A = this chain, B = another copy of it.
């Protein structure tokens, strides 16, 4: 028999952490090395402890889970399972691209988490049926924004006026309006006030 796999659970909800912990309690091949409620200390934890499997919530209060993933993935033989509640479209794709080995929804039956761990450790990429369905809905052609459009979108999200944006980017106000018109066109909205909302739906922020 091989050594147990050491799991780190990262989720801001204590009840979820304890649920997952109990889930693995009955399984010989896994041991829970620790649990964390924030993303900040994940890097340090995996450095100091022999963790080879991380179950990571994307929706953390301090850091965006995706950043935690980017930080730890690739270090040693770390296998990362994404466990997520409400999901921003695009984030899942991005997580898989970054190197996450499995994606499970919190709405999935708990045994899917174990299945995901087994599959990921066996070298497979695992996406639960529930997540696969959710992903399918967002398979609309991706909206590609230029760097200028992206910059202005961010300023819009901050609530800056066109005048302010023009000042910050050192361009003329009409140019800002022009880029905003492009954003409206690409995001297919009729009104400036809907741009940020739509961009968030598409996971562009």
Contact = CB atoms under 8 A, between A and B. Distances in A.
Interface stretch (A72-80, A90-98, A156-164, A171-179): A156-164
Interface residues of A, number: 30
A85 interface: yes
A191 B22 contact: no
Contact of A107 (B12, B23, B160, B161): B12
Interface stretch (A13-21, A43-51, A138-146): A13-21
A52 interface: no
A161 to B, nearest CB: 6
Contacts of A160: 191, 193
Interface in A1-41: 12-16, 18-20, 22-23, 37
Q: How many copies of this chain does the complex contain? A: 2
Contacts of A159: 189-191, 193-194, 197
B13 A16 contact: yes
Contacts of A100: none
B161 A106 contact: no
Interface of A: 12-16, 18-20, 22-23, 37, 83, 85, 106-110, 113, 156, 159-161, 189-191, 193-194, 196-197
